[in-house]
Amino acid sequence: MRRSLISNLLLLFGTFILLGAFAYRLLITSDIPVSYAIDEAVTLHVLIFISTMLYICGSMIGSRNTIRYTVIAVLTVFMVLNIYLFNTDAEYFDASYAQIAIVFILHPLLVILINVLVQLKTSQRIKTVFEDKTATRSNKAAEKARN
């Protein structure tokens, strides 16, 4: 119960920080012809990093698979939406704009990858435990048959 609560709170805080970073990105890129300073971009990357760490910790602490599946589904939709909105035809598209825009594609991709790997490891562990129990039962049955 306590782990589930902590996991949900971390995911909630990660979501709030991610939405705040997205709003900050919209604020930064709304005045592109004026250009933005490097400290604004660094602030954005720090916010995304904090959100990523909260998502990763929240999904790893949560012991339920539904949390991981939900995180994977929501971030997949978010990533696809950002790829769709990634505008390369704009006159102001340069390396600095790409640095700000691509982080919203890489963040969900990293969290999705880690969640898939954790899910695969969890399912492999469950499969190993199941096989061990089955092997133990069959060994006991064979032992009883011999006696």
Is the model's pLDDT at 56 over the cut of 80? yes
Residue bearing the bigger pLDDT, 130 or 107:
107
Q: DSSP label at 28? A: H
Q: What is the C-alpha separation between 36 and 39, in angstroms, rounded?
A: 8
Instruction: Band the pLDDT of 31: cuts 50, 70, 90.
Output: low
Mean pLDDT of 108-122: 84
Q: Across all residues in the chain, what is the average pLDDT? A: 78
Q: What is the C-alpha separation between 72 and 75, in angstroms, rounded?
A: 5
Q: What is the C-alpha separation between 4 and 60, in angstroms, rounded?
A: 11
pTM of the model: 0.71
Is the model's pLDDT at 58 over the cut of 60? yes
Q: Is 35 left (phi over 0), alpha (psi -120 to 50) or beta?
A: left
Is the model's pLDDT at 131 over the cut of 70? no
Sign for the pseudo-dihedral over CA of 24, 72, 116, 54: positive
- What pLDDT is attached to residue 136? 63
Is the model's pLDDT at 4 over the cut of 70? yes
SS3 assignment, position 7: helix
Is the model's pLDDT at 16 over the cut of 80? yes
Q: What is the C-alpha separation between 138 and 144, in angstroms, rounded?
A: 10
User: Please, are residues 70 and 12 in contact by the beta-carbon 8 Å criterion?
Assistant: no
Is the model's pLDDT at 13 over the cut of 60? yes
